[in-house]
Amino acid sequence: MRTNILGPFEVFQNDDRVVPSAPKLRQVFALLAVHANSVVRNDQLIEELWEDRPPLSATTTLQTYVYQLRKLHRLGGRPGAASGDTGEPPLLRTSPSGYMLTLEPDALDANRFARLSDQGRAQADAGEWDRTAETLRDALRMWRGPAFSDVGVGPVLHATAIWLEELRKSVVEQRITADLALGRHHELIGELTGLVAHEPINEGFQAKLILALYRSGRRSDALRAYQRAREALSDELGLEPSPQLQALHRSVLAADPKLDPPQQSAIVVTGPPPGRSPNQLPPDVSNTIERSAELTMAQQAVARTAGLATPVIVAVGAPGSGKSTFCLHFAHRIRRDYPDGQLFAELTRPDGTPMSPFTVLENFLLAIGGPDAEIPASMEDRVSTYRKWTDDRKALVVLDDAVGWDQIRPLLPTGEACAAVISSTRRLVHPSITKIVTVPSLSPSGGLRLLMSVLGRRRIARDTEGARELVDLCDGLPRALRTSAMVLEMRPHWSFGRLVSCLRGELPRPRNLLSDGFGLYPSTCRTLRLLPPATQHAFPRLAALQQPVSASVAASELGVDEDQAELMLEELVDHHLAEVVDTAGGGAFDQFRYRFRRPLIEVAGMLARRAPQHDDLDEHQFGLSVSIRP
């Protein structure tokens, strides 16, 4: 038997997948597997399954689950049920206090991960950086997504999942340290940029990105990265960078020789090491609640197109809808089909300016050819070199936050065995696109599950109605929900209802509470910059109405004719800043109703209040004040 928990939960017997379909059975088996060869007490199993509200029949029901597992997985020790390579039979034993699942050590992917992690650390302690990097890469390949990603975890498994995730992060940091010691700073920039985007307050990742940029001759970019790190720490935690990060900043300013790349006299790198391929994908740490239909749609489109043309999948959605997370998770699901490399680029800088394809191609070619690769000076030659490499390879290209087709086109691989996955707030239309996947808001139940995944079931149970109101207030946008959950994590004594009352203005809102508009202010500003000035100006004014509007109402509010108003409303819809909620009347334009999501109304109010002091958007001064209403 082989059991995987580092990603979707899987159990294999003789290479046949036999995962229990019932959610409670999966929970029981996962808990027994992660504590294999140790007794799991009955009270632990009951707490995992029912937390602090077990039914009166909990013990009997648990015994029924164990009986079903024994039948499903032949865990009674009968011949033919192999545990691992040794052929030892797995057993599910009963003890006076609980149950114990016996498994061979390497039958559990988490055990293999921990063993390789320890081996890699020992190699690092011995200064064997090349072996360290390779061993830790092997360890990280065990991960196929978040631990227990399709198991409804309770408090016991949740604690294990947190421990495994922290261990994974430490292994990623150690592997990057090894790569920096080997002089692979060019290759690390894309990966570190993605890691920092997902975890802006992780000072370890921030420091490594600054160092990699500096060693790559991009001193100004390294200094800008420090400023972004400082802003993130101040905005989210109210803290200044650590002394170590500040010291690194001073060293960059002084061009300290200690920051120079290590001399690798015994190592000459002219391309990817044998048997390896560039991998720039950030880690898959996503929670893809309610995304199975969209993932299946994208998977089918890739399978249908493969071998005939390059599959190009574009995920679109509102700011904060999770389209970048969706693309990254999908890329990790299919990465094994593209063994020659996975390339990743963010196509919009944090300040909202589009990334030049010229610069992205430089990073791609460095990843493909190694730090000593000769990068062509002209755009035409860079595109030609890149396409020649992709033409006869199986490579995956992930482009996040794309602005338009002209930016995307030079970065698409040409090989029929390649694939491209793209996220964009803007709706893109082009014959090369295989499938456009719209990433919707979460349903009320999906929003509750997301809050539960962060805060736990007990917190939800204490104030279920308040949690439902918060999901409604966030309009099901995952980013808004996660940001709200972070606030409640920092204030464990708050109820959901109290947070909702603060957001609605019924209670005073503490200073800096969700001051970034549910985490959506930066991404909304980046999206608005893609629009004409008149439409930028229209967004906060129309959102301030806090109700669905027609073209005629918009025209009256903006002082323009209805044709212009309709054009601006449709531009907002194209960029997912508004949505059509009423198309009655057979398509007559004055029957369309355009709605603004509540978190975006909050952002619109921030734009209105900040415009006289800031130049966030073309120096418009909206002169409005918006407070969110139910």
Statement: residue 266 has pLDDT above 70: no
Does residue 578 carry a pLDDT above 90? yes
Q: Which amino acid is at 276?
A: R
Asked if residue 470 lies in contact with residue 499, where contact means CB atoms within 8 angstroms, the answer is yes
DSSP letter at 229?
H
Per-residue pLDDT reduced to its tens digit, 271-298: 344 434 788 888 876 556 788 889 889 9
Name which of 179, 438, 410, 429 is nearest 297 in CA terms: 438
Whole-angstrom Cα distance, residue 578 to residue 539? 9
- Interatomic CA distance for residues 564 and 304, integer angstroms: 41
pLDDT of residue 209: 93
Statement: residue 505 has pLDDT above 70? yes
Task: Tell me how far apart the alpha carbons of residues 48 and 388 are, in angstroms, rounded to a whole number.
Answer: 53
- pLDDT band of residue 557 (cuts 50, 70, 90) is very high
pLDDT at 477 over 60: yes
Concatenated DSSP letters for 532-560?
Answer: -HHHHHHHHHHHTT-S-B-HHHHHHHHTS
Residue 170: which of 99, 120, 101 has the closest Cα? 120
From the number of C-beta atoms within 10 Å of its C-beta (0-12, 13-18, 19+), residue 551 rates as buried
Lowest mean pLDDT among 34-38, 254-258, 304-308, 310-314: 304-308
Look up tokens 């020789």; give the residue: 257
Q: What is the pTM of this model?
A: 0.57
- pLDDT for residue 167 is more than 70: yes
**Res. 16 pLDDT band, cuts 50 70 90:** low
- The mean-pLDDT minimum among 15-24, 47-56, 142-151, 575-584 falls in 15-24
Report yes or no: 182 and 133 within 8 Å, Cβ to Cβ. Answer: yes
Q: Could you tell me the pLDDT band of residue 611, with boundaries at 50, 70 and 90?
A: low
DSSP secondary structure of 56-114: TTHHHHHHHHHHHHHHHHTTB--TT---STT-PPPEEEE-SSEEEEE--GGGBHHHHHH
Tell me the pairing of strands 435-438 and 312-316.
Answer: parallel
Q: Average the pLDDT over 563-587 and give the result.
A: 83
Say what the alpha-carbon torsion angle 38, 41, 44, 48 is, to the nearest 10 degrees: 70
pLDDT (mean) for 19-30: 82
What the block records as the tokens of 178 is 């090894």
- How far apart, in Å, are the Cα atoms of 544 and each of 137, 148, 385, 501? 50, 42, 50, 19
pLDDT in tens, 362-414: 989 988 886 667 888 899 999 999 999 998 889 999 999 998 899 999 999 99
**In the predicted model, is pLDDT for residue 593 greater than 60?**
yes
How confident is residue 471, by pLDDT bands cut at 50, 70 and 90?
very high
Mean pLDDT of the chain: 83
- Average confidence (pLDDT) over 326-334: 91
Question: Is the predicted pLDDT of residue 626 greater than 70, yes or no?
Answer: no
| Mean pLDDT within 526-549 | 90
**Cα separation of 486 and 465, whole Å?**
19
For the record, the structure tokens of 143 come out as: 């991960």
Q: Bridge partners of 16?
A: 13
**CA distances in angstroms from 568 to 550, 590, 596, listed in the order given:** 12, 14, 14
- Structure tokens belonging to residue 418: 């390649």
Three-class DSSP category at 626: coil
Q: What is the mean pLDDT of residues 185-209?
A: 88
pLDDT tops 80 at residue 333: yes
Q: Does residue 613 surpass a pLDDT of 90?
A: no
Arithmetic mean of pLDDT, 70-77 = 66
Query: Per-residue pLDDT averaged across 458-484, rounded?
Result: 91
> Strand 98-102 vs strand 91-94: parallel, antiparallel, or unpaired?
antiparallel
pLDDT band at 128 (very low <50, low <70, confident <90, very high): confident
DSSP bridge pairs for 513: none
User: Using alpha carbons only, what angle is made at residue 94 by residues 92 and 100, rounded to the nearest 5 degrees?
Assistant: 50
Alpha-carbon distance 34 to 513, whole Å? 38
Q: Are 627 and 509 in contact (CB under 8 A)?
A: no
What value does the mean pLDDT take over residues 332-341? 88
The whole-angstrom distance between residue 109's C-alpha and the CA centroid of its chain comes to 22
CB atoms within 10 A of CB 259: 16
> Residue range 496-501: average pLDDT?
92
Q: How high is the pLDDT of residue 504?
A: 86
488: DSSP letter:
H
Residue 87 has pLDDT above 80, yes or no: no
What average pLDDT does the segment 300-324 reach? Answer: 88
Would you call 430 helix, strand, or coil by DSSP?
coil
Instruction: State the pLDDT confidence band at 571, using cuts at 50, 70 and 90.
Output: very high
pLDDT > 60? residue 480 = yes
Q: What is the DSSP letter of 354?
A: B
pLDDT of 512 strictly over 70: no
**Overall average pLDDT of the 191-212 stretch:** 90
Percent of the chain with pLDDT over 90: 31
Q: What is the pLDDT of residue 270?
A: 37
Mean pLDDT of 184-191: 86
Whether residue 552 has pLDDT greater than 60: yes
pLDDT at 273: 41
Q: How confident is the model at residue 628, as a pLDDT?
A: 40
pLDDT category at 619 given cuts 50, 70, 90 is very low
Closest CA to 554 of 520, 585, 580: 580
Band of pLDDT at residue 577, cut at 50, 70 and 90: very high
Mean pLDDT, residues 84-94 taken together: 61
Indicate the residue type of 582: D
